[in-house]
Amino acid sequence: MKDLESLSASQAARALARREIKATDLLLSCLDRIGHRESLVKAWSSLGKENALARARELDKGSIKGILHGLPIGVKDLFDTYDLPTSYGSPIYANNYPASDAVSVALMRQAGGIILGKTISTEFATFKPPVTHNPHHLKHTPGGSSSGSAAAVADFMVPLATGSQTAGSIIRPASYCGVVGYKPSFGKVMLAGVKALSPSLDTLGCFGRSVGDVALGVAAMSNDLSLAEIDQLHNKPRVAICKTKDWSFASKETAGALALARFTAEAIAKGMVQDISLPAACKDLTLLQTRIMSFEMARALIFERMRFSKKLSPQLSQQLSEGVQIPYEQYQKDLMKAQAARFAIAQLFENEVDFLIAPSAPGEAPLAKEGTGNPVFCRGWTLSGLPCINLNVSSGPNGLPVGVQLIAGPGKDRFLLSAARAFAQALPDAVLRDQA
């Protein structure tokens, strides 16, 4: 019964379903780990210890409730929870107790998950650096905006935690913290009950320490339980590397990670793993995502701008003021271009490739004082609505993790999970293969 907190979510879920371990013991192990580490890492905005223990005892006595039976879960503090305060990372909502759970949270509870606490989000899931530290090196950022979720999972405080991505808020912190992050297809998980930032882009997903973990998490969050069963890859997939138009932002360690990923993919791919460029309709993806997000967040946060402008950070206030200036006509044009780009990408996946490998971040996690890192390598993929999974493949000059993201065609989440598992199994390092 020792070290239960080091079990991955899928290992723990299996042991819980077979009654080999108790939900109470797993929870106590996680709480013990949090007790030792939280003062350093600062991943949590609140913990619901008593409620979680009561729920664990109930689950240990009753029947198996679902695929997350007895699993402790961290919920990004952007998701409403009826029994825990929900601040959206802002002092405006310091005392906010929502009347209900976000749909995705309620679905995780229905599947037997135990909401252990809320993990720290940046201010409304934007860019102001949070108090959370990268557990691998405390002076570095865990990334954002799902800072606490990525750090808590990386630090073995909890096996599974939710996240949201509007620019790069799942894939980037997953890369910085060396965990598996899964941003499913746009619309896969209902947004209701999660604070809106940019509704054309906001996408919910989760963090775990293996592909099986994030499959479990999104299966429960979306109620698509078929995702929890990862198929073997039946055929060798067509794989390509996509450095993207933003390649100039990539550091040496990101270039190295991509080279290693290419080498790894060659073991499972059909034919050569070649470089690919996105179709011409996609040339402005990063710019379009940035401007659409800017436009929408200035409207989505209108209530806070009108009533609590002094409680917004100067950085966010500035961004919102810029967003307000974007004319509606520009926004409409951008949405139409985005739709054309999505269509072109769908054709690419139809005709040329089964999955892409692309950088997750410019490099290893920067120093915390420099911010939460640049989401440039995620913006376009978020706008495209494609499912993405970050896997840890190497490390940077400070020994911090560096990941790559695997990207499949629109709606091809089940295939992506299969491909990610096969890819992880092919990684040259035994420790990294644990991510499978």
Region from 183-191, 360-368, 386-394, 427-435 binding a copy of itself, contact rule CB under 8 A: 183-191
Q: At what angle do helices 211-222 and 103-110 cross, to 10 degrees?
A: 110
State in angstroms the smallest separation of the CB of 379 from a copy of itself: 20
Q: Which structure tokens are listed for 107?
A: 């679905």
- Cβ proximity to a copy of itself, 149 vs 222, nearer residue: 222
Site string for a copy of itself, 320-339 (x = CB under 8 A): --------xx--x-------
- Cβ proximity to a copy of itself, 142 vs 193, nearer residue: 193
State in angstroms the smallest separation of the CB of 307 from a copy of itself: 8
Site for a copy of itself in 72-91 (CB under 8 A): 82
Tokens 């996946």: give the residue: 349
- Residue in 25, 38, 58, 224 binding a copy of itself, rule: CB under 8 A: 224
Site string for a copy of itself, 198-217 (x = CB under 8 A): -xx-----------------
Cα separation, 66 vs 74, whole angstroms: 18
Tokens 């959370």: give the residue: 132
Q: With the C-alpha atoms ordered 223, 225, 231, 235, is the resulting torsion angle positive or negative?
A: negative
State in angstroms the smallest separation of the CB of 107 from a copy of itself: 6
Counted residue by residue, the chain has a size of 436
State in angstroms the smallest separation of the CB of 234 from a copy of itself: 18
Site string for a copy of itself, 267-306 (x = CB under 8 A): -----------------------------x--xx-xxx-x
Q: Which structure tokens are listed for 392?
A: 């840890």
Residue by residue, DSSP assigns 101-140 as: --HHHHHHHHTT-EEEEEE---GGGSSS--S--BTTBTTB
Q: Which structure tokens are listed for 160?
A: 């599974």
Buried b / exposed e over 151-176, threshold 16 CB at 10 Å, is: bbbbbbbbbbbbbbbbbbbbbbbbbb
Q: Is residue 94 close enough to count as binding a copy of itself by CB under 8 A?
A: no
Cα separation, 78 vs 87, whole angstroms: 7
CB atoms within 10 A of CB 367: 12
Region from 50-58, 176-184, 192-200, 270-278 binding a copy of itself, contact rule CB under 8 A: 192-200
- Residue in 13, 34, 84, 103 binding a copy of itself, rule: CB under 8 A: 103
- Residue in 37, 46, 51, 96 binding a copy of itself, rule: CB under 8 A: 96
| DSSP type of residue 171 | H
State in angstroms the smallest separation of the CB of 93 from a copy of itself: 6
State in angstroms the smallest separation of the CB of 221 from a copy of itself: 10
Q: Which structure tokens are listed for 270?
A: 């059909």
Q: Is residue 106 close enough to count as binding a copy of itself by CB under 8 A?
A: yes
Q: Is residue 100 close enough to count as binding a copy of itself by CB under 8 A?
A: yes
- Cβ proximity to a copy of itself, 6 vs 321, nearer residue: 321
Site for a copy of itself in 413-432 (CB under 8 A): none
Site for a copy of itself in 28-67 (CB under 8 A): none
Rg (the chain; Cα; Å): 20
| DSSP type of residue 167 | S
Region from 190-198, 204-212, 235-243, 249-257 binding a copy of itself, contact rule CB under 8 A: 190-198
Region from 56-64, 222-230, 382-390, 398-406 binding a copy of itself, contact rule CB under 8 A: 222-230
Q: Is residue 226 close enough to count as binding a copy of itself by CB under 8 A?
A: yes
Q: With the C-alpha atoms ordered 389, 394, 398, 400, is the resulting torsion angle positive or negative?
A: positive
| Helices of type H across 18-48 | 23-41
| DSSP type of residue 281 | G
Q: Is residue 191 close enough to count as binding a copy of itself by CB under 8 A?
A: yes
The type of residue at 186 is F
Buried b / exposed e over 224-257, threshold 16 CB at 10 Å, is: eeebbebeebeeebbbbbbbbbbeeebbebbebb
Where in the sequence numbering do the catalytic residues fall?
76, 145, 169
Q: Report how many residues bind a copy of itself under the rule CB under 8 A.
A: 38
Residues that bind a copy of itself (CB under 8 A): 82, 93, 96, 98-101, 103, 106-107, 109-110, 187, 190-193, 195-196, 199-200, 222-226, 296, 299-300, 302-304, 306-307, 328-329, 332, 411
